[in-house]
């Protein structure tokens, strides 16, 4: 039966393992509804991406030894196949032990057949054995990972780990999340649990290569994971796919995706290779950039910056000229309070004696905040619930969400309390972020204009795009951006106010003059 399947693939050789598995995977995808695979976060790797990932490993420390490979969340086995294909084509390694984890009953038969094909092709060429583990990769090792004293089978360690893990949000009380509490904060996702467990499974000085969403590189929810994986390992190489739509060419995944190689070591390299291209089809023409390690991994939160050209490097270097943040200056960005669909009883269509204005992101226009009809239908809210309203003070408003194709990610507006002097209180919908003083007192006009100038500049917008690849502006991330001292922000604000301009060009000119010009 196996021989006939190999014959059906044509003249399959060791050098064409990936093509063989890719062809068989496509047939599987055509038969299996995407909606069903999406429920378990299953998206298959293209042959170009698989070979690229396999090509990232350094085999120099593995010569003349038995090599152990782990492929958690194996799917159809194309990543294992790509790694074995490269080993056979480029090395003199004579013994391979492969472990594949997979729990999807629909794909396991295909995976088993593909592994048998690989085994048959390697027969007489190399000592090869594999284990297909039909068990949960995370929960089966949870006790080991957490340092339990009663683990019956200590986790196996590996020389090479390659994976396209499931991309799936899970509840905090999911058994997988409960198995790895030290890396979970907020809303967990299976992909970063897989990555953390893989580093745990990796032998010292060995490497893992993962294709995962970019979302882990910033944000509070991923901080515990970043501190775990970047505390025990070091990034060696990163590849960023600029296009959100075509990384998984057969899958139409709208996800900004990256490939990362991590080595289990405490010794950081001096530089990291950061490459980029639009899609997996463009991998041969990717752009490479050599970036100092401390520009990629930075700050107490261990944010991971992904510059793709010299301009990005310059932006990071300029912003990191200073070390203070908004909170050091006495300010903080927060998120709007009102979740309108949950507060329908308090929403009003017209102003009344017991209402205050409700502001949406639609009210931010041309650098200022107005209260013209938003198109939402409810531009007022009852003042009866004190937890939904805030003092009418000076603020800088910032949209939380923008479209991918919009030219700016940070879209801000100056809110001046005197423009709405008839109200003691206002309300902000939670798709707005706003900057206020930590002591809750009013912000001086000069600082309002100064903070606005920073956020409305090309420099800060570019920096935020490098930091965060999503279309959401997270207040927690903005609060970590280094800013100039308060005296400089004041000077910038005073000059901007006197100029009568709020456009980005004016902000850029003042930042260059007072804060980021040549030393």
Strands 271-277 and 234-241: what pairing? parallel
Strand ranges across the sheet with 432-437: 331-335, 432-437, 395-399, 412-415, 368-369, 364-365
The whole-model pTM stands at: 0.88
pLDDT for res 38:
54
Sign of CA dihedral 451, 453, 458, 459: negative
Strands 202-213 and 257-263: what pairing? antiparallel
Determine what percent of the chain is predicted with pLDDT higher than 90.
75
> Is the pLDDT confidence value at 112 over 70?
yes
Residue-wise DSSP of 238-278: EEEE--SSSSSTTT-----EEEEEEES-S---SEEEEEEES
pLDDT tens sequence across 268-303: 999 999 999 988 888 888 999 999 999 999 888 899
Sign of CA dihedral 469, 472, 474, 478: positive
* Cβ partners under 8 Å of residue 183, min gap 6: 192, 193, 196, 224, 225, 228, 229
> Is the pLDDT confidence value at 419 over 60?
yes
Per-residue pLDDT band for 40 (boundaries 50, 70, 90) equals: very low
Per-residue pLDDT band for 449 (boundaries 50, 70, 90) equals: very high
Residue 242 exposed, middle or buried by CB count within 10 Å (0-12, 13-18, 19+): middle
Token pair in block for residue 207: 């490497």
Per-residue pLDDT band for 9 (boundaries 50, 70, 90) equals: very low
The domains located in the chain, with CATH, are: 2-232 (3.40.50.150), 326-514 (3.90.220.10)
pLDDT for res 243:
63
């Amino acid at each position: 039966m196996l021989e006939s399947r190999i014959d059906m693939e044509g003249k399959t050789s060791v050098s064409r393992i990936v093509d063989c598995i890719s062809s068989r995977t496509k047939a599987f995808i055509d038969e299996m509804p995407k909606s069903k695979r999406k429920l378990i976060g299953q998206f298959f790797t293209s042959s170009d991406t698989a070979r690229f990932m396999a090509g990232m490993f350094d085999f120099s420390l593995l010569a003349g030894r038995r090599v152990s490979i782990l492929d958690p969340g194996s799917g159809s086995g194309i990543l294992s196949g790509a790694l074995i294909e490269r080993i056979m084509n480029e090395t003199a390694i004579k013994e391979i032990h492969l472990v594949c984890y997979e729990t999807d009953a629909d794909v396991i038969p295909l995976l088993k057949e593909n592994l048998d094909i690989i085994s048959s092709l390697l027969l007489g060429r190399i000592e090869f054995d594999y284990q297909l583990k039909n068990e949960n990769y995370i929960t089966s090792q949870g006790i080991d990972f957490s340092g339990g004293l009663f683990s019956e089978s200590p986790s196996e360690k590996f020389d090479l780990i390659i994976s396209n893990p499931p991309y799936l949000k899970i509840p905090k009380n999911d058994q997988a999340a409960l198995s790895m509490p030290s890396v979970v904060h907020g809303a967990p996702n299976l992909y970063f649990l897989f990555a953390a467990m893989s580093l745990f499974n990796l032998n010292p000085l060995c490497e893992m290569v993962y294709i995962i969403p970019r979302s882990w590189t910033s944000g509070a929810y991923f901080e515990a994971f970043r501190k775990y994986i970047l505390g025990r390992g070091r990034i060696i190489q990163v590849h960023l796919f600029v296009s959100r739509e075509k990384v998984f060419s057969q899958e139409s995944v709208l996800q900004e995706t990256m490939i990362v190689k991590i080595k289990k070591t405490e010794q950081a390299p001096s530089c990291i290779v950061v490459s980029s291209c639009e899609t997996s089809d463009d991998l041969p023409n990717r752009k490479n950039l050599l970036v100092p390690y401390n520009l990629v991994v930075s700050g107490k939160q261990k944010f991971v910056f992904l510059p793709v050209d010299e301009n990005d490097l310059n932006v990071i270097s300029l912003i990191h000229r200073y070390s203070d943040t908004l909170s050091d200056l006495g300010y903080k960005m927060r998120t709007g309070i009102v979740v309108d669909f949950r507060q329908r009883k308090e929403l009003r269509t017209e102003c009344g004696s017991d209402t205050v204005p409700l502001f949406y992101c639609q009210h931010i226009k041309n650098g200022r905040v107005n209260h013209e009809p938003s198109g939402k239908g409810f531009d007022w809210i009852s003042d009866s619930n004190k937890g939904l309203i805030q003092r009418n003070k000076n603020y800088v408003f910032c949209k939380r969400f923008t479209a991918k194709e919009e030219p700016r990610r940070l879209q801000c507006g100056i809110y001046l309390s005197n423009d709405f002097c008839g109200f003691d209180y206002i309300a902000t919908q939670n798709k707005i972020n706003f900057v206020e003083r930590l002591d809750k007192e009013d912000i001086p006009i000069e600082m309002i204009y100064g903070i606005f100038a920073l956020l409305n500049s090309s420099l800060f917008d570019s920096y935020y795009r490098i930091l965060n690849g999503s279309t959401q502006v997270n207040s927690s991330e903005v609060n970590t951006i280094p800013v100039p001292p308060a005296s400089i922000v004041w000077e910038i604000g005073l000059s901007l106010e006197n100029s009568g301009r709020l456009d980005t060009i004016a902000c850029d000119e003042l930042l260059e003059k007072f804060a980021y010009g040549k030393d």
